[in-house]
């Protein structure tokens, strides 16, 4: 059988592309060797949020007296939390399967490898050596954890003393002391979770700041808040060795040893491009990723790459959009990915979210700008629901166009309304046009409106 579209990988990019293409009438085959939903649904975004929500409820229960609620002793059942997390994942995976069925997508539960061309067709072979041919091909194989060449790390991973994003979400017991290698999104979220539910947590980060490329002011504010909650940060520190129950690190030229019950390796992820057979059709990874243009096209006509494998944003919501654009391009519809309005979120407590350009990026580009910074306390709902937690709303305005250039947020619900600012930036709404918009009251999002009128 000849398919209109072959897709390798059933994560956010792969299953979204399959659904859109199938709904448009294309004959689609989707290959997934593990579980539909990919890392995001099974080992990342969704299960981590299930855990973080349980931790938030636990924290609220412990601190509820200030809101007039008195409770007896509060306890936390990690095994029950994991059971609920697994139930949520099963339900969502079942939902993805139903979408594939409704869209007429053929799902092949096996690994697939590109085996070359047959005229104008791309050829794949699955793990059972069955051949499939298609007119178009989408590579959506996602990413895998980056494992740095630290002495003892591979052995510690094999023994279970060190875990990656997959293992940290399945621990049925709370470790007494968790060491986290890396202060990026995964490291910070899991550090926040396990500290809330009772672990002593130490984060080792090679850089001098946390949270990667976030705005330095937001990064520093988040650092201080997490330290206040008891997380210890070792910045500018490099892990030099991993043993059976300890981690050695070097900081300021001094090597020290840190005992631990569990270690999370969270130094980032890399595109999954190994053993795909890319060379058989003339694709060579660029800096370890499959390079694409704004339509998701690779250097080979008819072949596209979406999601983490292209190494651009490595975010599930970016993969959704990239998949839609790739399918639209296959269908002959004009479309392209605009990354300017792609939000990023760290689901710590408090949340951090940002979109667009930072103040530093505008300065580097030599663009005239103005900025405003407000705490979330300008929102009545924030005042009603919190006890003055750390927060910040930062907007930067491009003075040449009088449009928003970027937004950085730290505070409750930041993940829920950052998208509104992204739309303002993408649509190039002027300051006056944004002022004319009506924000619902009372909402935490009103801090954006308050800030807009101060620009």
- From first to last of its 455 residues, what are the pLDDT tens digits of the chain? 899 999 999 999 999 999 999 999 999 999 999 999 999 999 999 999 999 999 999 999 998 888 999 888 899 999 999 999 999 999 999 999 999 999 999 999 999 999 999 999 999 999 999 999 999 999 999 999 999 999 999 999 999 999 999 999 999 999 999 999 999 999 999 999 999 999 999 999 999 999 998 999 999 999 999 999 999 999 999 999 999 999 999 999 999 999 999 999 999 999 999 999 999 999 999 999 999 999 999 999 999 999 999 999 999 999 999 999 999 999 999 999 999 889 999 999 999 999 999 999 999 999 999 999 999 999 999 999 998 789 999 999 999 999 999 999 999 999 999 999 999 999 999 999 999 999 999 999 999 999 999 99
In the three-class reduction of DSSP (H, G, I as helix; E, B as strand; rest coil), residue 17 is classed as: helix
Residue-range domain boundaries for the chain: 2-145+270-338, 153-267, 350-452
**Omega before 321 within 30 of 0, i.e. cis:** no
DSSP-based three-state secondary structure for 105: coil
Global confidence as pTM: 0.95
CB 202 within 8 A of CB 258: yes
Look at domain 350-452 and name its CATH class: alpha beta
Please tell me whether the peptide bond between 328 and the residue prior to it is cis, using omega within 30 degrees of 0: no
* Structural tokens at position 7: 């897709």
The CATH homologous superfamily of the domain defined by 153-267: FAD/NAD(P)-binding domain (3.50.50.60)
In Å, what is the CA distance from 55 to each residue of 93, 173, 178, 350? 23, 14, 16, 12
Q: Tell me which residues are annotated as active site.
A: 441
Helix locations, 44-137, DSSP H = 45-62, 78-102
How far is Cα 382 from Cα 444, in angstroms, rounded to an integer?
6
Distance between CA atoms of 171 and 224, rounded to whole angstroms?
27
End-to-end CA distance of the chain: 60
Query: What is the CATH architecture assignment of 2-145+270-338?
Result: 3-Layer(bba) Sandwich (3.50)
Distance CA 98, CA 323 (A): 19
CB 140 within 8 A of CB 13: yes
Instruction: Give the containing element (helix H, strand E) for 61.
Output: helix 45-62
A 10 A CB-CB count for 44 gives 24
> How many alpha carbons lie under 13 Å from residue 281 in its C-beta half-sphere?
28
Sequence-distant (6+) residues with CB within 8 A of 246 are 257, 258, 259, 260
Is residue 123 within 8 A of residue 114, CB to CB? The reply is: yes
Same fold, 2-145+270-338 and 153-267: yes
């Amino acid at each position: 059988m000849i398919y209109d579209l072959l897709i390798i990988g059933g994560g956010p990019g792969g299953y979204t592309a399959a659904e859109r293409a199938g709904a448009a009438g294309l004959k689609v085959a989707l290959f997934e060797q593990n579980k539909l939903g990919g890392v995001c649904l099974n080992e990342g975004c969704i299960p981590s949020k299930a855990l973080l929500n349980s931790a938030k409820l636990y924290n609220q229960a412990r601190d509820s007296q200030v809101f007039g609620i008195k409770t007896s002793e509060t306890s936390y059942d990690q095994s029950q939390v994991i059971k609920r997390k697994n139930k949520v994942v099963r339900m969502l995976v079942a939902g993805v399967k139903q979408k594939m069925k409704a869209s007429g997508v053929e799902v092949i539960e096996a690994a697939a490898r590109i085996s070359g061309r047959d005229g104008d067709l791309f050829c794949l072979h699955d793990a059972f050596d069955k051949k499939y041919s298609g007119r178009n091909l989408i590579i959506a194989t996602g990413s895998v954890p980056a494992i740095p060449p630290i002495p003892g790390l591979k052995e510690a991973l094999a023994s279970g003393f060190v875990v990656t994003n997959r293992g940290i979400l399945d621990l049925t017991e709370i470790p007494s002391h968790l060491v986290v290698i890396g202060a990026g999104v995964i490291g910070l979220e899991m550090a926040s979770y396990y500290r809330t539910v009772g672990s002593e947590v130490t984060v080792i980060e090679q850089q001098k700041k946390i949270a990667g490329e976030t705005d330095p002011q937001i990064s520093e504010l988040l650092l201080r808040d997490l330290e206040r909650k008891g997380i210890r940060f070792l910045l500018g520190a490099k892990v030099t060795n991993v043993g059976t129950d300890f981690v050695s690190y070097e900081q300021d030229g001094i090597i020290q040893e840190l005992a631990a019950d569990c270690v999370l390796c969270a130094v980032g992820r890399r595109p999954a491009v190994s053993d795909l057979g890319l060379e058989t059709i003339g694709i060579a990874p660029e800096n370890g990723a499959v390079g694409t243009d704004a339509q998701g096209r690779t250097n080979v006509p008819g072949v596209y790459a979406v999601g983490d494998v292209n190494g651009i944003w490595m975010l599930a919501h970016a993969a959704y959009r990239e998949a839609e654009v790739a399918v639209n391009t296959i269908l002959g519809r004009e479309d392209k990915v605009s990354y300017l309005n792609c939000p990023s979120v760290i689901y710590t407590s408090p949340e951090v979210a940002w979109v667009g350009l930072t103040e530093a990026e505008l300065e580097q580009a030599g663009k005239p700008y103005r900025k405003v910074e407000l705490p979330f306390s300008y929102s009545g709902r924030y005042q009603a629901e919190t006890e003055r937690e750390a927060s910040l709303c930062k907007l930067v305005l491009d003075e040449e166009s009088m449009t928003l250039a970027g937004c950085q947020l730290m505070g409750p619900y930041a993940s829920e309304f950052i998208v509104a600012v992204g739309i303002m930036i993408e649509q190039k709404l002027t300051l006056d046009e944004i002022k004319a918009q009506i924000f619902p009251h009372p909402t935490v999002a009103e801090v954006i409106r308050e800030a807009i009128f101060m620009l």
